[in-house]
Amino acid sequence: MYRVMIIDDEKALRNLLKASVDWQEMGLEVVGEAASGIEAINIIDKLRPDIIFVDIRMPFMDGIEFSRIALKRYRQMKIIILTAFDEFEYAKQCIGLGLTDYLLKPIVRTDIREACQKAIRELDALPAAVPEQPVLQDVSSDMEHVKQYIDNHYPDSALNLTAIAQKFGYNPSYLSRRFKADCGQNISDYITACRMEKAKKCLESRMLMYMTAKEVGIPDPNYFGKCFKKYTGSSYSELLKLQLST
């Protein structure tokens, strides 16, 4: 029996969906529900649903963003998007993510059954294998991956919140909030800290400021000088003079 999860910020719609079809008759079981994408992400590893119905428009994390994260963890999961918006751009995003179906509200019972049957056929067609393990244990561990990525790529001058969000499949605003909640500082501050700590090591080796600026991913030496002074409270040029005089 395949496991189903329902995600929608409207409780009435969740209840309506649960009551719309005979799940057991189709070989399905509703194992849980959530009122937001963030809530769902936090319980998905415990529930391990095979099929998910998710509303496309929800506060904080929409259905598209949730689907990106969920499918990074469980690639064989089948996701069915629910929306009141018959918009081509949404449909294109769903197709690009490889989602199973896209249902328009108000949802018709026969559409639910057909979407479920499609998901079941896709699940049945999968090769027998060891139960799929999550690629990432939770969003908090994903933030550790983000930190590691910054640690390895801070010399890239193009590294910023938008680039990192695209790399990991997050909405930039959500990534910014989550990273700060888990790591205690925002992403731009963490990138700056990585660059300035490296700059201190360059200073110890008596590297000229313009070379250090380039080394840490800040091409403009003047801007680098301002960042360094703000971070350390001291001027790079003056500290370098002291280094060279000893």
- Ranges of each domain in the chain: 2-124, 139-245
In eight-state DSSP terms, residue 12 is H
Q: What is the pLDDT of residue 40?
A: 87
- Mention every residue, 6+ apart, whose C-beta is less than 8 A from residue 169: 68, 69, 72
Owner of token pair 């080796």:
205
Residue 154 has pLDDT above 90, yes or no: yes
47 within 8 A of 74, measured Cβ to Cβ: no
Question: Is the model more confident about 140 or about 97?
Answer: 97
| Interatomic CA distance for residues 44 and 160, integer angstroms | 29
pTM above 0.85, yes or no: no
Mean pLDDT across 73-86:
84
Q: Which of 2-11, 45-54, 128-137 is predicted least confidently?
A: 128-137
Mean pLDDT across 117-138:
70
| Interatomic CA distance for residues 37 and 30, integer angstroms | 17
104 within 8 A of 36, measured Cβ to Cβ: no
Percent of the chain's residues with pLDDT above 90: 48
| Interatomic CA distance for residues 184 and 215, integer angstroms | 26
Q: What is the pLDDT of residue 137?
A: 45
Q: Which of 8-17, 87-96, 131-140, 160-169 is predicted least confidently?
A: 131-140
pLDDT class of 156 with cuts at 50, 70, 90: very high
CATH assignment of 2-124, given 3.40.50.1820, 3.40.50.2300, 3.40.50.450, 3.40.50.300? 3.40.50.2300
H helices then E strands: how many in the chain?
12, 5
| Interatomic CA distance for residues 63 and 84, integer angstroms | 12
Mean pLDDT across 167-196:
87
- What does pLDDT average to over the chain? 86
Q: Which of 71-75, 87-91, 95-99 is predicted least confidently?
A: 87-91
Q: What is the pLDDT of residue 110?
A: 92
Residue 182, burial from CB neighbour count under 10 angstroms (0-12, 13-18, 19+): middle
Owner of token pair 């605003």:
173
| Interatomic CA distance for residues 96 and 109, integer angstroms | 26
Reading the block at residue 1, the tokens are: 């029996």
Architecture in CATH for domain 139-245: Orthogonal Bundle (1.10)
Percent of the chain's residues with pLDDT above 70: 89
**CA angle (81, 85, 87) in 5-degree steps:** 95
pLDDT class of 139 with cuts at 50, 70, 90: low
- Mention every residue, 6+ apart, whose C-beta is less than 8 A from residue 89: none
Q: What is the pLDDT of residue 135?
A: 47
